[in-house]
Structure 1
Amino acid sequence: MKILQFYVPCKGLRVGIMEGNSDEVFDITSSGVQSTLDLIKRSILLKMPIESIVKSQEKKGKFSYSELNIMPDKTKPHLLLPIYPPEVWGCGVTYKRSAEMRDDDTTSAKGIYDYVYSATRPELFFKATSSRCSGPNDYICIRSDSVLTAAEPELAYVLGDGKEIIGYTICNDVSAWDIERENPLYLPQSKIFYGCCALGPVISLNSEIKDPYNLNITCKIIRNGSVIFFGGVNSSKI
């Protein structure tokens, strides 16, 4: 099962579910479930799987995913962030190639990234609050003082109160590489700014992902209608 959020004119934010490979999105919004965060909190409070909570919710409408998958437009139903996260945290140097590349590019403190890659304690950094996040088909941003901002597609985990994995989504960890390369102490400035974190389009619940270490992650950058970059990696390389 997948959970998501979408906008409907005159109704505002709605909570939706998708089952299997169907294109159908069912609206399960209620007084007790007005966001996916409400749904997750209710699951934790009642100590019930989200799937069980969903079964008790009335389906109040049906949409097709394809009709929702458009750029945000207040006059049309469209996808929103799959969750408004209280906090987003990131793990750095998760790929060997990334460690080697970042050590080569850094003008000071050589070897620190390669060390972190193999260390027991990971590199963790604060990334964003919900106000700094962008949803599906929406704009991301760059810092005005950066000349080299890069897309960094990542597998994102949605965690519960006990740090248990609720589900997975996709994150674009937009980063100002030139600022971090100047000095690793500038990492917060390279990572945190308005529109620095894109999430979505849906949250695939933990029960749906059989092996999170065998997922293909791809990134395609389109500019003026043309694909200028396409790449991918399997999560087994993490």
Structure 2
Amino acid sequence: MLDLIECGPDALAAVRALMAEADAGQNADAIVPADTALNAPIPAPRKNVLCVGRNYAEHIAEGDRAQKQNVGVTEYPVFFTKPPTAVVPPGGDILIFPTVSTNIDYEVELAVVIGTAGRNITKADAMAHVFGYTILNDISARDIQRRHGGQYFKGKGLDGSCPIGPWIVTADEIGDPHDLNIGLTVNGEQRQDGTTKDMIFDVPTLIASLSEGMTLEPGDIIATGTPSGVGYAMEPPQFLKNGDRIVCAISGIGTLSNTVRTV
């Protein structure tokens, strides 16, 4: 996939031609059986996954209530990262390490995949750098976040904390990434139910801000934040436990399903 993204529009056109032959029955080797187990679309990102915190107003409000604080909306985007070792495929296990954390939470997010490299990208040019979109579940160890002074990296960087998938939908197939339904269920119970139109900082703003003095490269993944409904903000808090089934859904992309496993 990284090679395909780096090779640009001509390579993507060649893949589409192969799939057209498959649809016409001329190239059976290009057909993927329905029961094929999928890997993460980019199973080994070359860099950390880039993430955005506090990008939906209702999520900010619920977090402030739960933590008895009043940070509110920030003037600039809040960024953190998740290491490549955190990536989990569709159907893979979300890991819980009980001796490390007992407050494991979920966050469904629209993820942007960069297609064309750039630095100091303007908002006006930002969307031309997008290859496509996928779903990401930003699994978070809330107690670790608090333990380390509220910073995000350690609490969001554990192994098994970054399910991604089920595939990348190319940018031309998504009319408006800011008008997608986004939600998450735990064991069939709806926990998150929102729309990407509620993002505080939209995709062009995030790309422009991230690329200031820092090169974004083909295959870079940007998770754009989560709507309200996270477990730690519920009364009482509802953290993930062994055997829970988490399903993330974004319209136009599909669903990403994973199961929690204690190790």
Same fold (TM over 0.5): yes
Instruction: Say which of 159, 183, 192 aligns to 1:218.
Output: 183
Task: Give the alignment partner of residue 55 of structure 2, picking from 81, 94, 100.
Answer: 94
**CA–CA separation in structure 1 for the residues paired with 2:198 and 2:11:** 30
State the partner residue of 1:80. 39
Change (3 A) 1:153 1:191: same
Q: Match for residue 134 of structure 1?
A: 88
Q: Tell me, which stretches of 5 or more residues in structure 1 are unaligned?
A: 1-35, 69-77
2:157 paired residue among 192, 203, 224: 192
Which of 132, 135, 145 is matched with 1:167 structurally? 132
Alpha-carbon offset, residue 49 of structure 1: 5.1
Code of the aligned partner of 1:180: Q
Secondary structure class of the residue paired with 2:152? helix
Structure with the larger strand share? 1
Tell me the distance in 2 between the aligned counterparts of 1:187 and 1:172.
15
C-alpha distance in 2 between matches for 1:190 and 1:233: 24
Which residue number corresponds to residue 145 of structure 2?
180
Letter in 1 for 2:81: F
1:111 aligns with 2:77: no
1:148 correspondence with 2:103 = yes
Once the two structures are superposed, what CA deviation does each residue of 1:153-211 show, in whole Å capped at 9, x if it has no partner? 00000013227111000000000123324564442221111001000001000010001
Shift in Å at residue 146 of structure 1? 1.8
1: CA distance, partners of 2:142 / 2:135: 20
Q: How many residues align?
A: 178
Residue matched to 2:122: none
Per the alignment, residue 32 of structure 2 pairs with: 63
Residue 52 (1) aligns with residue 13 (2)? yes
Q: Which residue of 1 aligns with 2:224?
A: none
TM-score normalised over the length of structure 2: 0.61
Identity %: 29
Q: Which digits, 9 at most, give the CA deviation of each residue in 1:62-116, with x for residues without a partner?
A: 2333x12xxxxxxxxx111111322311000011112122223336xx433x142
What SS class does the counterpart of residue 102 from structure 1 fall into? helix
Q: What is the aligned-residue RMSD (CA, Å)? A: 2.2
- With 167-176 and 210-219 compared, the bigger mean Cα shift is at 210-219
Work out which of the residue numbers 169, 173, 181 in structure 2 matches 1:204: 169
In structure 1, the residue corresponding to 2:160 is in which secondary structure? Answer: coil
Helix, strand or coil for the counterpart of 1:201?
strand
In structure 2, distance between residues paired with 1:179 and 1:106:
14
Residue segments in structure 2 that go unaligned for 5+ positions in a row = 22-26, 119-125, 200-263
1:125 has 2:80 as partner: yes
TM-score, normalised relative to structure 1: 0.67
